[in-house]
Amino acid sequence: MSSAAGPDPSEAPEERRFLSTAEAAALERELLEDYRFGRQQLLELCGHASAVAVTKAFPLPALSRKQRTVLVVCGPEQNGAVGLVCARHLRVFEYEPTIFYPMRSLDLLHRDLTTQCEKMDIPFLSYLPTEVQLINEAYGLVVDAVLGPGVEPGEVGGPCTRALATLKLLSIPLVSLDIPSGWDAETGSDAEDGLRPDVLVSLAAPKRCAGRFSGRHHFVAGRFVPDDVRRKFALRLPGYTGTDCVAAL
């Protein structure tokens, strides 16, 4: 009787830290279709974790009153919805968020998230000052929730493109959600001439462009990803401490 040969270790999938755009989309489909996560549920998990990452990079006790003011710039797509949730949780955590949301989505979920922020008395800017110093003086930091993976600046129109041009010039800290807006999610092109965030919060798992991130803090917000899904996509991510929903990379 012959025994079956065990798996060849050389054929095991190579573990990786960064997902391609196609892999990230497949992971999200797996959560939505196989695990029956709801779209609003995922936005809430990612937005809450993004706010927690802000608290870790900029702890409230260490901030002056002025530094607690946070400008959250939201685009019309999914990343913008995560930004709305992030702003709401920052208010709960006793920061002072203001939202700039120049191209409001007609999607009912986005409208609900907007209403929640309005009901919590989070102010919305009607325009973003073009004088950079006004923003530097008014806020302690900015959250970039304008564009997500696969969304080009030209696809969302002028107001978002102009906002990104302003964000490039700021001297206050910048926190980007999932990827720095305007970067190519695969190659990180525009990393030199585009936004250069101080903090990157990778949602679910880091995207390939994160390999070019050189800021001070990189967090992954993916504790909600089931272990089987992590194994399927061969993710190599740090362990989460205690009840933390984010981990530093």
Closest by CA position to 179, among listed 163, 203, 155 = 203
Q: Is the dihedral of CA 161, 167, 168, 173 positive or negative?
A: negative
Check residue 151 and give its pLDDT: 67
pLDDT of residue 232: 93
For 46, other C-beta atoms within 10 Å of its C-beta total 26
Please give the mean pLDDT across all residues of the chain.
89
Burial of 243 (0-12, 13-18, 19+ CB in 10 A): exposed
In the prediction, which pLDDT does 193 show? 63
56 or 147, which is more confident? 56
What would the mean pLDDT of 89-116 be, rounded to a whole number? Answer: 96
What digits encode the pLDDT tens for the residues 142-182?
Answer: 999 998 887 666 666 688 889 999 999 999 999 999 999 98
Q: Measuring CA to CA, which residue among 225, 237, 206 is closest to residue 21?
A: 206
Query: Which amino acid would we find at residue 1?
Result: M
One-letter identity of residue 236: R
* pLDDT tens by residue, 5-20: 433 444 445 455 789 9
Contact present, 69 and 33 (Cβ < 8 Å)? no
Q: pLDDT tens across 103-147, in order?
A: 999 999 999 999 999 999 999 999 999 899 999 999 999 999 998
Q: What does 97-129 look like in DSSP terms, one character per residue?
A: EEEE-SS----HHHHHHHHHHHHTT--EESS--
CA atoms within 13 A on the CB side of 96: 10
Tell me what the mean pLDDT of segment 212-216 comes to. 93
pLDDT value for 189: 74
CB 215 within 8 A of CB 117: no
